[in-house]
Amino acid sequence: MSTARIRLPASVKKGEVIEVKTLVTHTMESGQRRDAQNNVIPRKILNKFVCNYNGKEVFKADLAPAISANPYLAFFVAATESGTLEFVWTDDDGSTIKETAKLTVT
């Protein structure tokens, strides 16, 4: 079971640029290793990340097998209005990990 952690300021001034930090637990298996019986361990990585701010995409990234386990991403967003940031990580099999965070703009 993967879990996500998000860190951003609880409240900011309108127009302020904030740093958003994310960390998600995931093994990020590259598909290049072998198990004890010498069988290839199937690839299973998070291959896409998207952040939406009040429904509008503000950041996205394509992830590759070279990304470490438990990927950490940090990026900046201009705080224009109070609302919700939605974070979505997509796995090779199409499953997703979703998390939200509230942002208050004064």
The tens-digit pLDDT sequence of the chain (106 residues) is: 679 999 999 899 999 999 999 999 998 888 889 999 999 999 899 999 999 999 999 999 999 888 889 999 999 999 999 999 999 999 999 999 999 999 999 9
Catalogue all structural domains in the chain, each as residue range(s) with its CATH number. 4-105 (2.60.40.10)
Q: What pLDDT is recorded for position 2?
A: 79
Predicted TM-score (pTM) of the model is: 0.90
Q: What pLDDT is recorded for position 30?
A: 86
Q: What pLDDT is recorded for position 1?
A: 64
Task: Print the SS3 string covering the chain.
Answer: CCCEEEECCCEECCCCEEEEEEEECCCCECCCCECCCCCECCCECEEEEEEEECCEEEEEEECCCCCCCCCEEEEEEECCCCEEEEEEEEECCCCEEEEEEEEEEC
Q: What pLDDT is recorded for position 10?
A: 83
